[in-house]
Structure 1
Amino acid sequence: MEKKQERNEDDDFSESFLQTLEQQTNWDGSPMVKYRGSWYLKIFFRSVLSSHKHFKARDSDIILSTLPKSGTTWLKALAFSIVNRGTICCDIGQNPLLTCNPHTLVPFLVMFEENNPHEFDQPTDPRIFATHVPFKALADSIRESTCKIIYVCRNPLDQFISICHFLTENKLEKDHAGPLGLDESFDMFCEGTHPYGPFWEHMTGYWNAHLENPGKVLFIKYEDMQEDIVFNVKKIADFLGCPFSSEEEERGIVEEISKMCSFQSLKNVDKNGYSFNGLFKNNTFFRNGRVGDWTNYLTPAMAERMKKLVEIKFQGSPGLTFKI
């Protein structure tokens, strides 16, 4: 079976190759395929494989990784602003974040096309890209180069509620009768059957990579960013090798970037537009962003189930915990 998969994978990721993979329908009705232990939305799967095989990372690249709805948009805005602050902070009115969605400024690697590899040849250095794939599924060139990876992790209960709202609002599968109920959706999530899941393998993969090589992988929790964004903005800048100078700190540049990239600032930019070739409404990237919103939807029994699941799945990843 493995040889068959490898042969078909090289053959333009044909439909016959897809038929060899386990398939499932996500709670919103979107088809998914399971590949090497992880689930992917079928609509993006060929692009995931293409970027894995053909994307060539530079040592100066910056890769931003998250599970969907775990702070992706926020991280994109922060990384873009930190790296380009020399230009942005000289003329605050010229900041692209004032007029366009962060997803326009920082492309996803899933948008990489084998037939048009030069599309990602950005004139600026470093280049910044984003991805949702697990650490093990990153392009070999990313893991083998000295490029930097920043991973933002979110409490799985909040992440679950946020992605449920997001996929239901956007309805990738237009002809589907409707999403599953919350109980059934939560069951699937706890079983690891969801886009880029299982969530615990996604989280522990990046956490363990961070422990093994903290100079390569920075691991940040969404909740920590909410608690002290100024501290984490400086932490990101230090990790990327472009720390804020004393003069910049005195001028309030760190606070300026933090405010510019806040939920309130970003949600009003191009909020009526669409991203990713019209697939996603921009306003659905900004629902509320609060920590603990899951308490408005999930029962204490569900929370207890998640707590026990996390304790079991994180046993091999010392130091990785969540407040549930």
Structure 2
Amino acid sequence: MAPSIGDDDMAERLVVSSLPLETRFPPFQLRQHGGFWFPEPILPDIVAVRAVFAPRPSDVFLLTFPKSGTTWLKALAFATVHRADHPPCAPDHPLRHRNPHDCVEFLEVLFLRYEEMLGDPVGNMRKLAEFMGCAFSGEEEAAGVALEIVKLCSIGALKNVEANKSGAQNYVKNEAFFRKGLAGDWSNHMTSEMAALLDGVIEDALQGSGLAFPAAESM
């Protein structure tokens, strides 16, 4: 006999099925929840997490816009925190064989601007390490450990890892996480009017948070 669906699970499914539906992003159906559009298959998990999630003082969050360094930042964070167990030059380093999303198992959070990371990856990674409580020692700086981690996590290196050329994460192919590694490509896909509209939405959403981003025209 198939396992029965609990009352909470059934309620979640009913809630999701009643939300506004869009099919403009094949192959996913999108449902609107809390003012945002989510792929339907993952929305029940998102609803459940939002209902019970309680952050801990030790949690670290990596927050990015889509296609602006999420996978890169996750790789940098993993390589920095675990550099003692996995030296960046080691041929058996996990990032040489596994997708960065497989290496970080739980939600973490941190803010860095993508354009600034591209301009000074080593300097921004030092900020990342210090934020996570594992700043580079003088000996590590002298040995070039920070630079080695940046090289290990470069888009060229990660795109060539076999695990990142195949497989998938939550219905998305791993190769989709590695694009150009450049800033400003929005201008090839959006008009200035569209970019200005998005800038306005983001500015309103971040108002009072202390976080700000440069307007699209300045990037």
Separation in structure 1 between the aligned mates of residue 96 and residue 210 of structure 2, nearest angstrom:
41
Q: Which residue of 1 aligns with 2:141?
A: 249
Quick one: which amino acid aligns to residue 28 of structure 1?
Answer: P
1:302 pairs, out of 160, 173, 194, with 194
Write out per-residue CA displacement over residues 26-73 of structure 1, whole angstroms, 9 at most, x where no aligned residue: 443622222233332111011222333456765444343334323111
Distance 1:86 1:312 in 2: 42
Aligned residues: 210
* Higher RCO structure (Cα 8 Å, ≥6 apart): 1
Equivalent residue of 2:91, what SS?
A: helix
Number of the residue aligned with 1:221: 113
1:149 aligns with 2:109: yes
- Check if 1:28 corresponds to 2:26: yes
1:65-120 deviations in Å (ceiling 9; x for gaps): 3343231111111111011000222861221111111111123xxxxxxxxxxxxx
Kindly tell me: are residues 21 and 104 of structure 1, through their superposed partners in 2, closer, same or farther at Cα, counting changes over 3 Å? same
- Counterpart code for 1:37: G
For residue 167 of structure 2, what is the amino acid of its counterpart? Y
Distance 1:13 1:257, change over 3 A: farther
Shift of 1:308: 5.1
- The 1:232–1:281 alpha-carbon spacing in structure 2 relative to 1, beyond 3 Å, is same
Q: Which residue of 269, 280, 286 maps to 2:161?
A: 269
User: Which segment drifts farther, 73-82 or 9-18?
Assistant: 9-18
CA contact (8 A) 1:274 1:281 kept: yes
CA drift at 1:13: 3.8
Structure 1 pair 67–291 and aligned structure 2 pair: CA distance change class (3 A): closer
> Aligned equivalents of 1:14 and 1:302: distance in 2?
34
Partners of 1:76 and 1:319 lie apart in 2 by 20
- CA separation of 1:72/1:313 partners in 2, compared to 1, >3 Å: closer, same or farther? closer
Could you tell me whether the CA contact under 8 Å between 2:140 and 2:146 is conserved in 1?
yes
Question: Following the alignment from structure 2 to structure 1, what is the Cα–Cα distance between the partners of residues 26 and 156?
Answer: 28
8 Å Cα contact 1:259/1:265 also seen in 2: yes
1:71 aligns with 2:69: yes
Q: CA deviation at 1:293?
A: 1.2
How far apart in 2 are the matches of 1:227 and 1:310? 23
Dislocated runs of 4+, deviation >6 Å: none
Deviations 1:174-210 (A, max 9, x none): xxxxxxxxxxxxxxxxxxxxxxxxxxxxxxxxxxxxx
Give the 3 Å change call, closer, same or farther, for CA 288–11 of structure 1 in structure 2: closer
1:1-324 mapped onto 2 (5 Å cutoff): 10-28=8-26, 30-53=28-51, 59-89=57-87, 92-107=90-105, 129-130=106-107, 149-150=109-110, 219-270=111-162, 271-276=164-169, 279-307=171-199, 310=202, 315-317=207-209, 320-324=212-216
CA distance in 2, matches of 1:43, 1:234: 37
In 2, Cα distance between equivalents of 1:264 and 1:69:
16
Q: 1:46 to 1:13 in 2, by over 3 A?
A: farther
Tell me the TM-score normalized by structure 2. Answer: 0.81
Normalising by the residue count of structure 1, what TM-score does the alignment of the two structures yield? 0.57
Deviation digits for residues 222-251 of structure 1, max 9, x if unmatched?
111111111111101111111111111011
